[in-house]
Structure 1
Amino acid sequence: MAFSTRLLSKSRQLYGSQAIHAIPVRFYAKEAAPPGPPLKGDQMLKNIFLEVKKKFETALGILRKEKIIIDPDDPAAVSQYAKVMKTVREKADLFSESQRIQYTVQTRTRDIPDARTYLLTLKDIRIKRGLTDELGAEAMMMDALDKVEKEIKKPLMRDDKKSMALLNAEFDKINKKLGIRKEDFPKYEEQLELKIAKAQLDELKKDALEAMETQKKREEFKDEAMPDVKSLDIRHFL
């Protein structure tokens, strides 16, 4: 069951700076989703439990059918694992990592009125998720904000559409300078998923080796040769 827990756990945050900065422009505009109808506590907890149970069972059902080779050094194995996990997310209706970041940004910034606090919150999200700003985009974005606020001679509010258009134009210049293009977002997503898949296979390999080493120390297994990790079939552990 340790393998299944690892497979279904949250993946490590291995994003480059594109993941936090390549967010569609619409997320900079202030939007507020209408709240759903209130639910009584017991019913809400029951609904959450049933939803989680359904997602978990769906994920396990897929993992029981798909063969996963624990070989993080084999690009084909990494690609296959990424494909399986993508199927799990789609069938179980789970967020991808980039979708999870976008959701976090939306929920945490929904009621922020000004652009500066928004950008600082974005930075806080990045730091707390262990992401790195390898491209130095944050400093460029703050410089762009300083430029716009100097031009309009007041703090930039997110509901000021005219001034926000100026800021977004500056952001477009930054994206162009950094080589970040909207049409390349699917490629960034694919590269990201492969990085995550490789990291998860590394973790699975590490866990498997540790488990085998522990088992080897037991008297009844001392004379038995441990199998190659790549030969393990995870479906037998689910």
Structure 2
Amino acid sequence: MAFTSRLISKSRQLYGSQIILHKEYALPLRGFAKEASRPALKGDEMLKNIFLEVKKKFETAMGILRKEKITIDPDDPAAVTQYANVMKTIRQKADLFSESQRIQYTIQSRTANIQDARTYLLTLKEIRTKRGLTDELGAEAMMMNALEKIEKEIKKPLLRNDKNGMALLLAEFDKINKKLGIRKEDLPKYEEQLELKIAKAQLEELKKDALEAMETQKKREEFKDEPMADVKSLDIRNFI
């Protein structure tokens, strides 16, 4: 069950901060229907609805995992792609966020009430740091330099409701995006690359867990003469 619990609920660290920067600066942040406001509920009714919703999502995920063959081989691109596709199917059928969508929603909810651009950018940095992301492109420093340039021009802190000032800043961001080779039409490709990196990391974790489990079992007297199975030959469906 350790395998299946990781497949369903384990969120891995993301590699590279491009998805935050691409999504936030190349396109306006969009909302997600999955997080739409719901009627206020009280007490037992709210708990019951939450339980039923989680139960439904869990059963949907388990149903898919019982049908799909997953090969625990993080070094095989085909296995990584297959695993990523299974996880994508689970997200779609169970109405779950992808990692990039989760990041977007975090940004949206954390920054909704921030009035000035500087605090906004600092909050993005905080979100990135807490998620263990690295700014490999050095984009954050470039964005902050652009903000400082605009604030010197307008001779005051830039507020997000300052349409003229924000237009100037976004123009600077467009220059940065162009310099870094970030294009709006490439955003789906960035998301796909991110999901493949996540899939590979999760398969590596599953492989590690499987090897540790087999090593522990081999120490038991009744299994000491049994050869260890190749992790790639394991069928997770047999453990569900």
**Alignment of structure 1 residues 33-52 onto 2, 5 Å:** 36-52=38-54
Alpha-carbon displacement from aligned partner over 1:23-67 (angstroms, at most 9, x marks no partner): 244239xxxx99543221322222221111111110110010000
Q: What CA distance in whole angstroms lies between the structure 2 residues aligned with 1:20 and 1:10?
A: 20
Q: What CA distance in whole angstroms lies between the structure 2 residues aligned with 1:157 and 1:74?
A: 49
**Equivalent residues of 2:23, 2:187 under 8 A apart:** no
The root-mean-square deviation of aligned C-alpha atoms, in Å, is: 1.6
1:86 aligns with 2:88: yes
For 2:211, the equivalent position in structure 1 comes to 209
Q: What CA distance in whole angstroms lies between the structure 2 residues aligned with 1:78 and 1:48?
A: 32
Q: What CA distance in whole angstroms lies between the structure 2 residues aligned with 1:35 and 1:192?
A: 28
Helix, strand or coil for the counterpart of 1:111? coil
For 2:148, the equivalent position in structure 1 comes to 146
For 1:104, the equivalent position in structure 2 comes to 106
**Equivalent residues of 1:144, 1:170 under 8 A apart:** yes
Equivalent position amino acid for 1:44 in 2: M
- Alpha-carbon offset, residue 127 of structure 1: 0.4
Q: What CA distance in whole angstroms lies between the structure 1 residues aligned with 2:12 and 2:167?
A: 35
Helix, strand or coil for the counterpart of 1:230? helix
List runs of 5+ in structure 1 lacking aligned partners: none
Helix, strand or coil for the counterpart of 2:215? helix
**Alignment of structure 1 residues 149-188 onto 2, 5 Å:** 149-188=151-190
Alpha-carbon displacement from aligned partner over 1:174-208 (angstroms, at most 9, x marks no partner): 11101111111111111111111111111111100
- Alpha-carbon offset, residue 100 of structure 1: 0.4
Moved over 3 A (4+): 33-37
Count of aligned residue pairs for this structure pair: 234
**Equivalent residues of 1:58, 1:91 under 8 A apart:** yes
1:237 aligns with 2:232: no
**Equivalent residues of 1:18, 1:180 under 8 A apart:** no
Q: What CA distance in whole angstroms lies between the structure 2 residues aligned with 1:46 and 1:214?
A: 40
Q: TM-score, normalised by structure 2?
A: 0.93
